[in-house]
Amino acid sequence: MQKTQSQKTQSKLEARLKETRLVIEPDFLWDAHGAYLFDIDGTLMRSRDRVHYDSVAASVRRITGFEITLAGVLIHGSTDTAILREACRQAGIPDKILEQHYDAILEAMRNCVAERRHELNPELTPGVEEVLRHLAQNGALLGVASGNLEAIGWIKIEKAGLREWFRFGGFSDHFPVRSELIGHAARKARELAEPKGQDGVHICVVGDTPRDIEAARANFLPVIAVATGKHTFDELLRYQPEACVSSLADLLATAPSAQ
């Protein structure tokens, strides 16, 4: 039987994930930070469904009657709000119309995913639960910094069985630019850390795209790049993250206390 394009893409990804590659700056202790901000899609999990993807066009159609497509729109590393705006721009929807219905479209997206949550089929990337457990045992605060709308991001986290690990997050509801939502999540981390006497808590970003690295840099935060999404190890390494790994499982293998 001939493989579909999606099956071919998946086969390539699985083959890539079997390769163990890791580059860490000499003085970078990846598991010694006080707080971590994890991206969701491509970092913690990969989706085996189109529920979230399809919610954008379906919501625009339901609220405005206009048809849009995400073809040609940069998805990986972007935010839901930025994706919505770009798709509407490409479809020629007047800005006035979008602004008039903007909040209603976002709410429709949230409702669409909530209504179809039983169809969500997330697959955890290698080593996720083990790394989260290891960092939590080290006393780190764990949060998410995702381009998802908040309600959608938490639904995905819950569906993947990871909700117990995360105390806070930064999402795209009010931050179309990724660096802004990471900055928001970092402020939340500091607020949570201060009651424990951890003023100046060290925060690390974990993501799978060049945009995660750029957004971390914009907030003067170190970053761990994992090649479990669309971008290859070599593509991520060009952006010089403090750590670049083929997967979180390979990263965990470098921590003596976790072995």
Q: In this predicted structure, what is the pLDDT of residue 20?
A: 79
pLDDT number for residue 1: 45
- The segments of the chain whose pLDDT lies below 50 read 1, 259
pTM above 0.85, yes or no: yes
Q: How many CA atoms lie within 13 A of 74 on its CB side?
A: 9
* Separation of alpha carbons 164 and 239, rounded Å: 32
Q: What pLDDT was estimated at residue 197?
A: 53
3-state helix, strand, coil in the chain (%, to 5): 50, 15, 40
* Tens digits of residue pLDDT in 165-214: 999 999 999 999 999 999 999 999 999 987 665 557 999 999 999 999 99
Cβ neighbours of 26 (radius 10 Å): 4
Other beta carbons less than 10 A from residue 158's beta carbon: 14
**Residue 168 three-state SS:** strand
Please name the CATH architecture into which domain 5-47+125-258 falls. 3-Layer(aba) Sandwich (3.40)
CATH number for 51-119 (one of 1.10.10, 1.10.150, 3.30.200, 3.10.620): it is 1.10.150
Q: Where are the domains of the chain?
A: 5-47+125-258, 51-119
